[in-house]
A and B are shown apart, each in its own frame.
Chain A
Amino acid sequence: GAVVSQHPSRVICKSGTSVKIECRSLDFQATTMFWYRQFPKKSLMLMATSNEGSKATYEQGVEKDKFLINHASLTLSTLTVTSAHPEDSSFYICSARRPPNYGYTFGSGTRLTVV
């Protein structure tokens, strides 16, 4: 149990376009999900906390207008990278916790390449 599905696993987009990444909790409801970004050979960096039915909380230095997060249901959070630039190329990962006693489960990640 406690499966988090992330889609797509890979995406290539042109500079200036927008890309949406989905994170779904398949067998549980998640009021809170987390979005991370990871550059090559670096650790995961928390970008934002996604809260169902309310605005996301962004970490310092993360542009909320560029990385739009929507958590419209208890099983789905989306991250939209708007007006993508090559420097946005990274590995994006979401996470959620199945209550009451499970640990955090992570999606398989989305590798974004902006050309």
Chain B
Amino acid sequence: DAKTTQPPSMDCAEGRAANLPCNHSTISGNEYVYWYRQIHSQGPQYIIHGLKNNETNEMASLIITEDRKSSTLILPHATLRDTAVYYCIVRVAIDGNTPLVFGKGTRLSVIA
């Protein structure tokens, strides 16, 4: 799995967009970018994933640069409940047989 680099922490004002960056300069052509988050004392929660096109769902948007060496997770209107650790994981498509490997992630604090 390609290595990822994320800032250790970020703050965001409630109601504003939270933009969480992730660098993955060694990503391979068949590797996806996955984002999970972990709210305190809970299990991780899937947010979104993508290969090379930008993706959007009800939780967030994922912007992947054209060279695929970095990406940004966007929470369009952050709320206090979005305070969590966000993990960017780069790997081949999930197959159910190989586990997710978590890095240190970014601790996002949404401030009122």
The answer on a CB contact under 8 Å between B104 and A104 is no
User: Which residues 66-115 of A sit at the B interface, judged by CB distance below 8 A?
Assistant: 91, 93, 95-97, 99, 103-109, 111
Q: Can you identify 16 A-B contacts, CB atoms within 8 angstroms? A: A4-B43, A6-B43, A30-B96, A43-B102, A43-B103, A43-B104, A45-B102, A46-B99, A95-B44, A97-B94, A104-B46, A104-B99, A108-B42, A109-B41, A109-B43, A111-B41
Is chain A's binding surface mostly helix, strand, loop or mixed? strand
Distance of A31 Cα from B97 Cα, bound (Å): 9
The answer on a CB contact under 8 Å between A106 and B96 is no
Contact of B34 among A4, A32, A91, A103 (CB under 8 A): A103
The answer on a CB contact under 8 Å between B105 and A95 is no
Tell me if B112 counts as interface (CB < 8 A to partner A): no
- Besides A6-B43, A109-B41, 6 other CB < 8 A contacts? A4-B43, A31-B96, A43-B102, A107-B43, A109-B42, A109-B43
Q: Interface size of B by Cβ–Cβ distance < 8 Å?
A: 22
Q: Which of B44, B46, B87, B103 has the most chain A CB atoms closer than 10 A to its own CB?
A: B44
Given contacts A43-B105, A103-B34, A111-B41, contact A95 B46 (CB under 8 A): no
A: residues with CB less than 8 A from B are 4, 6, 30-32, 34, 36, 43-46, 49, 91, 93, 95-97, 99, 103-109, 111
Distance of A31 Cα from B103 Cα, bound (Å): 25
B: residues with CB less than 8 A from A are 34, 38, 41-46, 49, 85, 87, 94-97, 99-105
Interfacial chain B residues near A31, Cβ < 8 Å: 96
The answer on a CB contact under 8 Å between A104 and B100 is yes
Interfacial chain B residues near A111, Cβ < 8 Å: 41
Q: How far is the CB of A58 from chain B (nearest CB, A)?
A: 12
Distance of A45 Cα from B99 Cα, bound (Å): 11
Distance of A95 Cα from B102 Cα, bound (Å): 13
Contact of B41 among A43, A91, A96, A97 (CB under 8 A): A91
Interfacial chain B residues near A97, Cβ < 8 Å: 94-96
Q: How far is the CB of A46 from chain B (nearest CB, A)?
A: 5
Interfacial chain A residues near B43, Cβ < 8 Å: 4, 6, 93, 95, 106-109
